[in-house]
Amino acid sequence: MSESLVVHPALVMIAGALLLPALRGSARDAGVLLVPALTLAALLALPEGDLWQMQWLDYQLAPLAVDKLSRLFAIIFALMSLAGGAFALRQPSRLEIPAAYLYAGSAIGVVLAGDLITVFLFWEFMAVGSTLVLWSAGTPGAWAASRRYVAVHLAGGVILFAGVTGHLLDTGDASFTRM
């Protein structure tokens, strides 16, 4: 399968998350169910291997790397998004489901990442998605919880960044392999 024909399932979910707020009524309901279903279809269509590869600075990146375990976890994230979307279909908040899909798409991106730089980028998008889920409640308690949550998640991101940077400086290799 040509790299140009392979769709990254994380980007399907994230694009859907960005489009959902523009939809209303039955189109929104269909979108809520269709986004994770299309993500799942994209996952099931992927062959195994490093499907996307690119050079960035001095590093070889593999933003889409599929093996049995990464596919399993990505499928679980997509199925949980589908179930969560169906359960929350009548949720009046216009932010909660798209934010949850941004989080799920980012989590799929993490598990399908074949390099540490891609892991870090999707990890930080997870922080954005999960913080937006908390903000969607719109209560003072939710705002307070989101500030604590984002502080902890971003602290974890700083630690991850330090580890990735140390690994890159030590090995010169961004590959996500057994360490």
Q: pLDDT of the chain along its 179 residues, tens only? A: 445 578 999 999 999 999 999 999 999 999 999 999 999 999 999 999 887 787 888 888 989 999 999 999 999 999 999 999 999 998 888 899 999 999 999 999 999 999 999 999 999 999 999 999 999 988 999 999 999 998 998 899 999 999 999 989 998 888 877 65
CA dist., res. 174 & res. 61, Å (int): 7
- Report which of 63, 65, 40, 59 is spatially closest to residue 122, judged by C-alpha positions: 63
Cα–Cα distances in angstroms (integers) from residue 18 to residues 10, 86, 92, in the given order: 12, 18, 17
